[in-house]
Amino acid sequence: MLNKLLVILLLSGLVSIQAKSQSLQEVYYQNVVTKVLDKITGKRATADVVLDFAKDLIGVPYRYASGSPSKGFDCSGFVTYVFRNFGFKVPRSSHEYARAGKPVKLADAKPGDVILFTGTNSRVRRIGHVGIITSVSGGEVEFIHSSSGREKGVTITSLSEGYYKRRLMKVVSLL
């Protein structure tokens, strides 16, 4: 009986050591993969690559307080999802983007810059909506965002539409 108990304790100890060893190996390899991916994505994070990724999400529905392509995006959930995919440490809420990156004048804005707007009430001058500039041509600015408006999801919109132009607050560069 004592021998059986000793064998059982010994085996359970070996299994525990094996599980801890396997767990440490998994953590080690996960860290190695993360470091490699960080290096790769850091080199790949050009405006074109970021925007191509964002455009692949066109049509994903709007969903309040969500940052998931399978469930839907709110505006900041979309922008955060896109930039975090490339290893950027970015805020989750739209108003926090005001302090992220480097401020840029609209006249100097480039594709890949983040564009900030008021919420739906343009008279309340507080950031409440965010998107990513997709193109700047001849003074025309277009941006991709997750809209709760008539589009109800990820779409590209022109800033020349009066609705968004009235709401414009700021542009910041993260790239």
Q: Which residues are catalytic?
A: 75, 129, 145
- Spatial CA neighbour of 77 closest among 88, 90, 87, 86: 90
The region, left, alpha or beta by phi > 0 then psi within -120 to 50, assigned to residue 112 is: left
Residue recorded with tokens 């564009």:
115
- Spatial CA neighbour of 44 closest among 86, 89, 90, 82: 86
